Structure 1
Amino acid sequence: MTTPQQPIGSGFGARSTATDVLEGIDLTGKLAVVTGGYSGLGLETTRALVAAGAHVVVPARRPILATEALGEEAEVAALDLADLDSVRTFADAFLASGRGIDIMINSAGVMASPETRVGPGWELQFAANHLGHFALVNRLWPALAGREARVVSVSSRGHHYSDIRWDDVHFATGYDKWQAYGQSKTANVLMAVHLDAIGREHGVRAFALHPGGIYTNLARHIPLAEQIANGWADAEGNPVDPSFKTPPQGAATQVWAATSPRLAGLGGVYLDDCEIAGIGGSAEDRTGVAAYAVDPDSAARLWAYSAEATGVDLLVKG
């Protein structure tokens, strides 16, 4: 498979921080939308973008908590990605403001949750991590097109756990929390691949990425015993894995994706440690990006599936 998944020599690495990658970059006058931008890596991302001069809008499932975390640093609005009516309400209100979007970072997500059904019986992780963001990007398209905007989807090395389960996307025949998470993260990458393919003629480029292993509240659904067994935490719940990044380091790759001049003219690629990742890896070592996650035919198929499921498609006028 011919692929643009080739490292470009970014000059940054696993221990670079969001502040590092933004050095010398002025975002004054730019508007960024960061889903989940009030906790964990999303909060670090919001603060880094604000420090560089951007105005940041944070759609939040828990707007009161978001306002407490951010104060007047960012603009907060209500949004539940697992509820398509909520997505529509947020998008309609934003478009009514007449503003454009220069940076959109899809950072909100859920990991390894217990089996939960939302909407018309959708599996929660696929619904919140992928379908909600798909609908949001499509509804906000008028604010993105024609602005040299970047759309960044926060995926994970966990995408190696599963390709798209075309015969049973919503786990009607048995649930596995890690396979469900992996499928949703593969969907994040495939969405970036196809969004970039259709968006580049409108000036919109798209990226997906693995932020690194970071100990945040994203792990809230994982029992402590499982975290200990995985070597992530000790008996008191303190992180012990030496490979874990700090939150500022974990936010670096998505901020780099959203702002780096080195990525001008590029898109539709998966990033890791502030670099374009190579093709490869496995569920065991989880390095690189799985070939199935950047396959353009699979990306187009997922786009069509998602458009039918959500009833929203920027390719369909009206």
Structure 2
Amino acid sequence: MLTNNDYQITPQQPIPSGFGPQSTAQEALGGRDLSGKTVIVTGGYSGIGLETTRVLAEAGATVIVPARTLEKAKASLDGIPRVELEELDLLDPASIDAFAQRFLDSGRALDILVNNAGIMAAPLVRDARGYESQFATNHLGHFQLTARLWPALKQAGSARVVSVSSAGIRFGGVDFDDPNFERREYEKWSAYGQSKSANALFAVGLDKRGYEYGIRAFSVHPGRILTDLARFMTDDELRAMGAFDEQGRPITATPSGYKTVQQGAATSVWCAANTQLDGKGGVYCLDADIAEVDSAFTLDGVSQVVTGVLPWAIDPDLSERLWQLSEDMTGIKFTS
């Protein structure tokens, strides 16, 4: 029987996997048969979430896709086998609890949870608790969801939880003294970076806590993909990021540095299902491999290209601070 005393941190360095930036989600699956497995993919009806849903479902899994807008999600998911649509609003704690309870009441084990949904560069909006929306949606909502689904993850005996982070971690770590921008001026990219750093730190803490139950956790940088995630950005902002060509058409593939949706979903699928990660966890992944630590990057060099994970997004001590903050802000603790 595994115990937390046996837990060892997986080295934050490439395996290497043999995959790369242009590998697709279908390829990153590694031929795995997921028949009989149950999966939840938040935001699994658009962008890389939709491709994640499609690949996992076509591999035989039953995929549950929670969504705020059911009609929009239903249209996107049409034709994909073994998909169940459910209602969920990550900004509403009551909605999270209701969704999780419906799943627990079904009696099913949860083999894979992909915490994929998120918002980026949103204007300052606060939820009913007064919490800043990017931190509340991207991190706290998924923290609560994972906690509520914990019994089903333990029931699986060998489960994986994937947190979709981003190279946006470069915009900064978690401000533990003022996560909701109550005393500092709101800046949308700082807020986004904070939430994505939290996603990565959550995987570190979750993997440690889940180890004795066979639950392993990973965080993911999908790469640069032009999807609906950019809906809060202006055309000028997107153009400055190189998202449009000279004719104003969206750039969606290499060698521009952007990925297709099929390529963007590869790391999520790799972390969710590929057997190359058996016995591993708590690491930040990109291009369907474990990322290197980019220790040369500094906050003063935001314009630099991030070649790996930044130290503050995988720091075990910061992960523990985030865990305590998350418990305090949500009022929720994981059941033992």
Q: TM-score range by the shorter chain?
A: over 0.9
Question: If the length of structure 1 is used for normalisation, what is the TM-score?
Answer: 0.96
Shift of 1:119: 2.2
Quote the Cα distance in structure 2 between the aligned partners of 1:63 and 1:145.
29
Instruction: Find out whether 1:289 has 2:309 as its counterpart.
Output: yes
Shift of 1:63: 1.4
**1:42 counterpart residue number:** 49
Instruction: Find out whether 1:8 has 2:15 as its counterpart.
Output: yes
Shift of 1:163: 0.8
State whether residues 129 and 185 of structure 1, in contact with CA within 8 Å, keep that contact through their aligned partners in structure 2: yes
Query: Which structure 1 residue ranges, 5 or more long, are not aligned?
Result: none
Please tell me the residue identity of whatever aligns with 1:239: P
**2:261 counterpart residue number:** 247
SS at match of 1:86: helix
Shift of 1:226: 1.1
Instruction: Find out whether 1:156 has 2:127 as its counterpart.
Output: no
Please tell me the residue identity of whatever aligns with 1:296: P
Instruction: Identify which of 194, 219, 225 aligns with 1:208.
Output: 219
Instruction: Find out whether 1:169 has 2:179 as its counterpart.
Output: yes
Structure 1 runs of 4+ with >6 Å offset? none
Instruction: Identify which of 300, 306, 309 aligns with 2:329.
Output: 309
SS at match of 1:122: coil
Change in Cα spacing, 1:201 to 1:3, as seen in structure 2 (3 Å) is closer
State whether residues 138 and 313 of structure 1, in contact with CA within 8 Å, keep that contact through their aligned partners in structure 2: yes
Query: Which structure 2 residue ranges, 5 or more long, are not aligned?
Result: 1-8
State whether residues 149 and 204 of structure 1, in contact with CA within 8 Å, keep that contact through their aligned partners in structure 2: yes
Question: Which aligned pairs between 1:67-86 and structure 2 lie closer than 5 A?
Answer: 67-71=74-78, 73=80, 74-86=83-95
Quote the Cα distance in structure 2 between the aligned partners of 1:97 and 1:261.
28
**1:259 counterpart residue number:** 273
SS at match of 2:179: coil
State whether residues 228 and 235 of structure 1, in contact with CA within 8 Å, keep that contact through their aligned partners in structure 2: no
Q: Deviations over 1:201-249 (max 9, x none)?
A: 0110000010000011100100001111222124765223711000000
State whether residues 190 and 295 of structure 1, in contact with CA within 8 Å, keep that contact through their aligned partners in structure 2: yes
Please tell me the residue identity of whatever aligns with 1:46: T
SS at match of 1:286: coil
Shift of 1:24: 2.1
State whether residues 10 and 282 of structure 2, in contact with CA within 8 Å, keep that contact through their aligned partners in structure 1: no
Question: Which aligned pairs between 1:101-180 and structure 2 lie closer than 5 A?
Answer: 101-146=110-155, 147-172=157-182, 173-180=184-191
**2:69 counterpart residue number:** 62
Of 229-238 and 125-134, deviating more is: 229-238
Quote the Cα distance in structure 2 between the aligned partners of 1:63 and 1:235.
37
Quote the Cα distance in structure 2 between the aligned partners of 1:294 and 1:126.
17
Question: If the length of structure 2 is used for normalisation, what is the TM-score?
Answer: 0.91
State whether residues 30 and 274 of structure 2, in contact with CA within 8 Å, keep that contact through their aligned partners in structure 1: no
SS at match of 1:12: coil
Quote the Cα distance in structure 2 between the aligned partners of 1:50 and 1:204.
21
State whether residues 18 and 253 of structure 1, in contact with CA within 8 Å, keep that contact through their aligned partners in structure 2: yes
Instruction: Find out whether 1:278 has 2:292 as its counterpart.
Output: yes
SS at match of 1:13: coil
**2:38 counterpart residue number:** 31
Quote the Cα distance in structure 1 between the aligned partners of 2:328 and 2:131.
13
Shift of 1:287: 1.9
RMSD between aligned alpha carbons? 1.4
**1:194 counterpart residue number:** 205
Please tell me the residue identity of whatever aligns with 1:98: G
SS at match of 2:193: helix
Change in Cα spacing, 1:93 to 1:302, as seen in structure 2 (3 Å) is same
Please tell me the residue identity of whatever aligns with 1:97: S
Aligned pairs, number: 315
Quote the Cα distance in structure 2 between the aligned partners of 1:23 and 1:288.
23
Identity %: 52
State whether residues 164 and 222 of structure 2, in contact with CA within 8 Å, keep that contact through their aligned partners in structure 1: yes
Change in Cα spacing, 1:237 to 1:313, as seen in structure 2 (3 Å) is farther
Q: Deviations over 1:181-214 (max 9, x none)?
A: 0000000000000000010001100000100000
